[in-house]
């Protein structure tokens, strides 16, 4: 049986960054990354751009084949972990045997939620999480004239944009009143919807899909209202789930994800978690949460790598998410959660076509969503990072003429 000093489940940005950080601190320990995919690290963030032919397949790969060899990191592809035994310090795989470990990192990310409804297994009902998914969407999209997008989150936005760019008539079906409303609030949701409709997306709100209709091939999408929309492709983006089934009986504390403390250590000594799968303790908000974005996964990978190699560093959220929607910048900074302790201040308006929604807790800026406000991005990022108290000037934040840099 193979045994590694450091074993990492997940070859995404969290797992890969952790492996590289460990190697920079420990020159001799053996390191292996296990991934069920057949590829080395690629950028999921760039997948929609590849779908729109804005970049090549090769440019998705953000590590060279050689970079693993140079750092003496073993990459075990096409290897699916099915069990973790933390007492015997053993990881069981589907068909590649068992692996022993000294220290273990869980960085297995998220998996797409599938729509379990009639017709949901037709080949033209597509999802976007992996490189294989996007190759498949491309092939079907190139033969399509009419598309339906299901879901009002960022994957829905990316799919709708990609279909329009490929000259496909596109209808988006969303459950809420507007795009991403549950995360960005009503006004920002309205502005996002406006940007999409102005660029040709037909929007059907307050509706859900009841059925995908077609014998061997998708023909139309039936809504709960009974209406039918013709489609030869349906792109679905209804969120991700954290697959923790393989961690059953491992002794790890699991809620929505794998629970960690502020050092990204799990409840079992010698086992850490990072990236989308981690439900980590944030000392600032004094709460546990998980974030599904690249910058969070990357910085957690760095922190966890340092900690696994022997130093103890607290993880501090510096999450940032930025996409381009038909030429308009949309950014998400810090923590997205709004609860009874969150104060929400809006700056700008739907009418002006730019809007910031700034979130504060105890007069500290903890998060923000920004539409078409690129200049505010760095300032707000710094406010979040520095945990700046803005009590004295808080009342001015909503005034678009007030320079936010004065808060720093």
Give the span between the Cα atoms of 152 and 403, in whole angstroms.
Answer: 32
Taking CA 345 as the corner, what is the angle to CA 396 and CA 382, rounded to the nearest 5 degrees? Answer: 75
Q: Is 183 in the site for ligand FAD (CB under 6 A)?
A: no
From first CA to last CA, the distance across the chain in angstroms is: 55
Binding ligand FAD (rule: CB under 6 A), the pick from 25, 80, 377, 394 is: 80
Binding ligand FAD (rule: CB under 6 A), the pick from 106, 109, 264, 380 is: 109
Residue 25 CB, nearest approach to ligand FAD (Å): 20
Give the span between the Cα atoms of 157 and 32, in whole angstroms.
Answer: 36
Interface pattern 40-79 for ligand FAD (x via CB under 6 A): ----xx-xx-------------------------------
Binding ligand FAD (rule: CB under 6 A), the pick from 99, 294, 315, 330 is: 294
Comparing CB distances to ligand FAD, the nearer of 154 and 390 is 154
Q: Is 9 in the site for ligand FAD (CB under 6 A)?
A: yes
Binding ligand FAD (rule: CB under 6 A), the pick from 21, 23, 31, 35 is: 35
Comparing CB distances to ligand FAD, the nearer of 13 and 306 is 13
Q: Is 105 in the site for ligand FAD (CB under 6 A)?
A: no
Q: Are 179 and 193 in contact (CB under 8 A)?
A: yes
Binding ligand FAD (rule: CB under 6 A), the pick from 25, 96, 129, 169 is: 129
Give the span between the Cα atoms of 150 and 125, in whole angstroms.
Answer: 10
Binding ligand FAD (rule: CB under 6 A), the pick from 19, 81, 147, 254 is: 81
Which of positions 257-276 make contact with ligand FAD (CB under 6 A)? Answer: 275-276
Burial 340-365 (b: 16+ CB within 10 A, else e): eeeeebebbebeeebbbbbbbbeebb
Residue 237 CB, nearest approach to ligand FAD (Å): 8
CA within 13 Å, CB half, 246: 20
Comparing CB distances to ligand FAD, the nearer of 188 and 295 is 295
Q: Is 160 in the site for ligand FAD (CB under 6 A)?
A: no
Alpha-carbon Rg for the chain, nearest whole angstrom, is 22
Binding ligand FAD (rule: CB under 6 A), the pick from 12, 185, 336, 348 is: 12
Comparing CB distances to ligand FAD, the nearer of 244 and 366 is 244
Binding ligand FAD (rule: CB under 6 A), the pick from 125, 131, 297, 356 is: 297
Residue 308 CB, nearest approach to ligand FAD (Å): 15
Comparing CB distances to ligand FAD, the nearer of 152 and 292 is 292
User: Considering all CA atoms of the chain, what is the largest pairwise distance in Å, rounded to the nearest integer?
Assistant: 65
Give the span between the Cα atoms of 267 and 86, in whole angstroms.
Answer: 11
Which of positions 320-349 make contact with ligand FAD (CB under 6 A)? Answer: 321, 323
Paired strand residues for 221: 212, 229
Residue 344 CB, nearest approach to ligand FAD (Å): 22
Q: Is 295 in the site for ligand FAD (CB under 6 A)?
A: yes
Q: Token pair of 269, please?
A: 């000594």
Comparing CB distances to ligand FAD, the nearer of 44 and 361 is 44
Comparing CB distances to ligand FAD, the nearer of 127 and 281 is 127
Residues that bind ligand FAD (CB under 6 A): 9-15, 34-37, 44-45, 47-48, 80-81, 107-110, 128-129, 155, 246, 275-276, 292-295, 297, 321, 323
């Amino acid at each position: 049986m193979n045994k590694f000093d450091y074993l990492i489940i997940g070859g995404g940005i969290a797992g890969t960054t952790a492996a590289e950080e460990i190697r920079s601190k420990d020159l001799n320990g053996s390191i292996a990354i296990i991934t069920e995919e057949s590829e080395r690290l690629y950028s999921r963030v760039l997948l929609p751009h590849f779908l729109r032919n804005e970049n090549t397949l090769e440019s998705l790969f953000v590590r060279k084949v050689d970079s693993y060899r140079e750092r003496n990191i073993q990459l075990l592809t096409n290897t699916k972990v099915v069990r973790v035994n933390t007492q015997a310090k053993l990881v069981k795989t589907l068909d590649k045997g068992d692996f022993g470990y000294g220290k273990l990192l869980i960085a297995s990310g998220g998996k797409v939620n599938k729509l379990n409804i009639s017709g949901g297994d037709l080949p033209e009902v597509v999802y976007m999480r992996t490189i294989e998914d996007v190759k498949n969407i491309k092939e079907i999209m190139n033969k399509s004239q009419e598309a339906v997008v299901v879901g009002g989150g960022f994957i829905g936005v990316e799919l709708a944009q990609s279909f329009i760019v490929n000259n496909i008539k596109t209808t988006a079906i969303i459950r809420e009143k507007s795009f991403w409303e549950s995360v960005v609030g009503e006004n920002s949701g309205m502005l996002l919807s406006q940007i999409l409709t102005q660029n040709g997306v037909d929007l059907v709100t307050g509706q859900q899909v009841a059925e995908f209709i077609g014998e061997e091939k998708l023909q139309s999408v039936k809504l709960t209202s009974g209406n039918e929309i013709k489609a030869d492709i349906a792109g679905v983006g209804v969120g991700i789930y954290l697959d923790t089934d393989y961690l059953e009986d491992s002794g790890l504390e699991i809620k929505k994800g794998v629970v960690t403390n502020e050092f990204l250590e799990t409840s079992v000594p010698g086992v850490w978690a990072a990236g989308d799968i981690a439900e980590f303790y944030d000392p600032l908000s004094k709460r546990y949460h998980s974030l599904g974005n690249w910058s969070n996964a990357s910085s957690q990978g760095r922190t966890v790598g340092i900690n696994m190699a022997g130093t103890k560093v607290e993880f501090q959220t510096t999450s940032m998410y930025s996409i381009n929607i038909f030429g308009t910048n949309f950014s998400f900074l810090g923590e997205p959660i709004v609860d009874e302790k969150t104060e929400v201040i809006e700056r700008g308006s739907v009418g002006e076509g730019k809007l910031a929604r700034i979130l504060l807790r105890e007069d500290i800026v903890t998060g923000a969503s920004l539409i078409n406000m690129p200049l505010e991005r760095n300032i707000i990022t710094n406010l979040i990072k520095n945990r700046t108290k803005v009590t004295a000037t808080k009342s001015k934040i909503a005034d678009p003429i007030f320079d936010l840099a004065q808060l720093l």
